[in-house]
Amino acid sequence: MSREGHTSWWPEYHFTRARMRNLSYLRPIVEDNRIVAYNLIMKGDDTYKVVATVTSHEELVWCMEHFNVDVYIKSVHHYVWLVDAIKSGASGILAESSGLLGVLSIKRGRYKYKLVSSTLWENNNAPIDDEFLDCLTEVYTEYGYGVHPTPASLGHAGMVQHHKLSGRKRISRPSQPLRHKLYEYGCGGRADDFGYHDVYSEVWKQDRDNNYANEMIGGVPTDKYRNIGMMNKFSLDLLPLAECATAFCQARITIQEGNEPYVSPFYIRNGSGLLEWVRRAGTYTGFWWSPMLKRCMDLGFIVEIGFCWVWDELDFLFKPWAEEAIQLRKNLVWQNKTRAAKLAKRVITGAIGHHSMKDILTMLVTDPIEGDVPFLDLEAGSYDTLVTEFYRRTIHEYNANHLTMVGYFVVMMGNVGLFDRMLEELRAGNIIISSNYDDIVVVRPPMDVPGWKVVIRHQYHQLGIRQSECLEDGVIFPGKRKVA
């Protein structure tokens, strides 16, 4: 029985054999501007063909069993028989970051089959076609850990297998207090818009290859930690931070007037719950990792620490996994399989992000009970209603075994690396237009830094955080609704 405070272990189990499924996708059949059926398309011999025309959810489930397939669709939420699927027992779990439905899980006997949104693997503009399935097949074949429906589940399967090969004991997830502070104060990827919204004839974008995977190689905190200090009792004695490998600390940071930074090493959450990288004078209290606090001290901010979780050494358990995942991408690039290489990148980021998940699940249901809230269609078109027949139900998974400290640490270190790169460019006299997770955009050629590559964009226009366009090429880079 799940209960708060119970210690769970990662991994929950080791796979005895790889999950194997064939791949297929649905092509809608439209009459009078509405979907009336789907063609189920699979590869037979060397060509793709329609193996069935399905006219109901029951027929699709039969095909899943008969052909042993996972089925891809542009958007699961717009699957025309979604209500029938949920009512018949299919499980729809909403993504934690976007709140959208990405996978529908259908259990038949001992086996589960998946209806999967292709947008989990590629952006919304990418077509779902024969080439998409070929690229997925190339990733599965090159990686060698079976067929899993999402990038996160595929990357996690690789992590679990590497743990098995290491012979290590299982790892305890973080304690309840640490876990909840990480949920409350941990950060997602960094994105800055510095207000330069003119159109630039030429800009330089520099991004770091395999940003998060490289941070994994450098070691992560796991389950060997200790506590120092007292909650809400702050001290200027920062020697403990100098002597440890890393720490997650309650801290009070003061930026004095006249010392406001152009680019900040630390963040708070604003009234909307989104990250704000602090550039104003004032005193801020929260929880931050020690690499961020050290950079605050380097800029002359006053830093005081209270209660801390301290790791005396980092764990290199995930180093072989990260190196292999990087090699997976490189192999696909060397084979000129650009689209497949982009899918492989999501395997890395998805698996690391999996460890940052909270211990709750949000399910899509049609039979509301007390506490359920209406589900709105955030993918609705301009003339479509946001109202749906569904409700969101939150279920606490108190024994969820995510290694929360690993996920948040890796992303934090990526943000620190981005800050360091921006600071170097500023000190060299460059102007930074924006940052976006693992890249920066500057107005002059940046320094040549190992592991960072540069592309030139023309007629560049920054529109906002994570939003830009290249007018010459007609390419728009849309921002996400939420930067967490």
Instruction: Please say whether the beta carbons of 149 and 70 come within 8 A.
Output: yes
Assess whether 19 and 149 both reside in one domain. Answer: yes
Residues 212-247 pLDDT 10s: 999 999 999 999 999 999 999 999 988 888 889 999
Q: For residue 399, what pLDDT is reported? A: 79
Residue 378: pLDDT band (50, 70, 90) is low
Output the pTM of the full model: 0.91
Q: For residue 380, what pLDDT is reported? A: 59
CA distance 186 to 317: 22
Mean pLDDT, rounded, for 368-380: 80
Q: Residue 245's Cα: distance from chain center in Å?
A: 25
Residue 448 lies in a domain: yes
pLDDT higher than threshold 80 for residue 462: yes
- Domain-terminating residue out of 261, 286, 311: 311
Assess whether 328 and 413 both reside in one domain. Answer: no
Q: For residue 44, what pLDDT is reported? A: 83
Split into its structural domains, the chain has a count of 3
Residue 484 lies in a domain: no
HSE, side-chain direction, 13 A CA sphere, residue 96: 15
Q: For residue 481, what pLDDT is reported? A: 35
Assess whether 35 and 157 both reside in one domain. Answer: yes
- Domain-terminating residue out of 248, 281, 311: 311
Residue 479: pLDDT band (50, 70, 90) is very low
Residue 472: pLDDT band (50, 70, 90) is low
pLDDT higher than threshold 80 for residue 345: yes
Residue 385: pLDDT band (50, 70, 90) is low
Residues 420-429 pLDDT 10s: 999 999 999 9
Residue 386: pLDDT band (50, 70, 90) is low
Q: For residue 239, what pLDDT is reported? A: 86
Residue 484: pLDDT band (50, 70, 90) is very low
**Token code pair at residue 80:** 């025309």
Residue 1 lies in a domain: no
Mean pLDDT, rounded, for 461-478: 66
Output 74 or 196, whichever has higher pLDDT: 74
Q: For residue 225, what pLDDT is reported? A: 96
Residue 422 lies in a domain: yes
Which residue(s) pair with 315 in the sheet?
220
Instruction: Please say whether the beta carbons of 454 and 445 come within 8 A.
Output: yes
Output 406 or 472, whichever has higher pLDDT: 406
CA distance 255 to 260: 6
- Which alpha helices (H) appear in 76-150, and where do they start and end? 82-87, 130-143
Residue 183 lies in a domain: no
Poorest-confidence range of 141-155, 239-253, 387-401?
387-401
CA distance 435 to 447: 16
For the chain, first and last CA: distance in Å?
A: 32
Residue 2: pLDDT band (50, 70, 90) is very low
Poorest-confidence range of 132-141, 190-199, 267-276, 408-417?
267-276
Assess whether 154 and 14 both reside in one domain. Answer: yes
Assess whether 296 and 330 both reside in one domain. Answer: no
Q: For residue 21, what pLDDT is reported? A: 93
Assess whether 37 and 161 both reside in one domain. Answer: yes
Range of the domain at 437: 191-214+403-477
Q: What percent of the chain has pLDDT over 90?
A: 69
Assess whether 19 and 157 both reside in one domain. Answer: yes
Poorest-confidence range of 175-184, 198-207, 389-398, 453-462?
389-398
Residue 174 lies in a domain: no
Mean pLDDT, rounded, for 275-302: 96
Residue 176 lies in a domain: no
Assess whether 325 and 354 both reside in one domain. Answer: yes
pLDDT higher than threshold 90 for residue 198: no
Q: For residue 396, what pLDDT is reported? A: 85
CA distance 408 to 247: 12
C-beta neighbour count of 236 within 10 angstroms: 9
Amino acid in the structure at residue 228: I
Assess whether 155 and 279 both reside in one domain. Answer: no
Q: Which residues contact 475 (CB under 8 A, 6 or more apart)?
A: 469
Instruction: Please say whether the beta carbons of 214 and 348 come within 8 A.
Output: no
Assess whether 210 and 280 both reside in one domain. Answer: no
Residue 99 lies in a domain: yes
Mean pLDDT, rounded, for 455-468: 84
What's the mean per-residue pLDDT of the chain? 90
Residue 379: pLDDT band (50, 70, 90) is low
- Domain-terminating residue out of 396, 430, 463: 396
Mean pLDDT, rounded, for 425-446: 95
Amino acid in the structure at residue 138: E
- Closest C-alpha among 370, 327, 364 to residue 345: 327
Residue 18: pLDDT band (50, 70, 90) is confident
pLDDT higher than threshold 80 for residue 49: yes
Assess whether 63 and 112 both reside in one domain. Answer: yes
Assess whether 199 and 250 both reside in one domain. Answer: no
Q: For residue 13, what pLDDT is reported? A: 78
